[in-house]
Amino acid sequence: MKTVLITGSHSGLGRQLVDKMLERHFKVMPYDIANGHDVLKPDLSWIGKNLDILVNCAGVNRINWLDDVSEDEWDHVMDVNVKGMFLMSQACEQRLRASGGTILNIVSNAAHIPMRASAAYNASKAAALGLTRQLARELAPHVTVFSVSPNKLAGTGMSLDIERQVMSVRNWTKEQARQYQLASLLTGEETPVSVVAEFIAFLLSDKSRHKYLAGCDIPYGA
C-alpha cells in the first residue's frame, strides 16, 4: 500500500483529495493546521519512514488593493503558499528519494492570469510555479515533481472567502461579485472540486500516468 501525505487536508480540494486517494486504497496522511500540523513547522515524526507522494495543497488568499496590502498580509500569504511548500518538500525529500516518489504542488490559474486586488496571492502562486519547476530539475530523476493549477473551484472555503473579500473591497453585492468571477470562465460555471480531485487521484494512482509530467504545470478549469 502506497502512502500519500496531503497538506491543507481539512477542507476544499485537500479534503476531496483525501477521500479520492482513500478510494484508490492509498494510506493517507492528512496534514492541516486545523489538526495541529503547520506547513511552516514540518513534523513527520508521526508518519513513519515510508512516503510515496507529497501533495502540497495548503494555501491562503487575501484580496486587497495594492495600496492597502499590509506587510503582515503579504508575509502570511507568501509564507503559507510558498515557504510552506518549500519546507514540506525539503522535509519529505529523503523519504521520497528512497521510494522513487512524487511531489504534486497545487498552484493556481492566478500564476498564469493574475487577478485584480490580489498582489500577494498572485505573486505567491507565480513563485510556487517557479519552485515546482526548480524542484523538478533538482530532484529528477529520483523524485517526480509537477503541478496542477485549478481555476475557481465551486463551494470551497477559499472560493467563498474570495467572494466575501471582493464584496468588501469593491463594495459589491454577492451577486455582482459572483457574476464578475463567472464572466471569465469559459464554461460559465465554477469547476466542481470533486472533478478536479478525481482527475488528480487518477494521475497519482500510477506513476506511469504522471512520470512524464515532471516539471509540467496542468491548468484545470475553463
Show which residues are catalytic. Answer: 121
Rg (CA), the chain: 17
Q: 192, 154 in Cβ contact below 8 A? A: yes
Per-residue cell: 182: 463567472
Handedness of CA 117, 122, 124, 125 (dihedral sign): positive
Which one, of 58, 46, 50, lies nearest residue 84 by Cα? 58
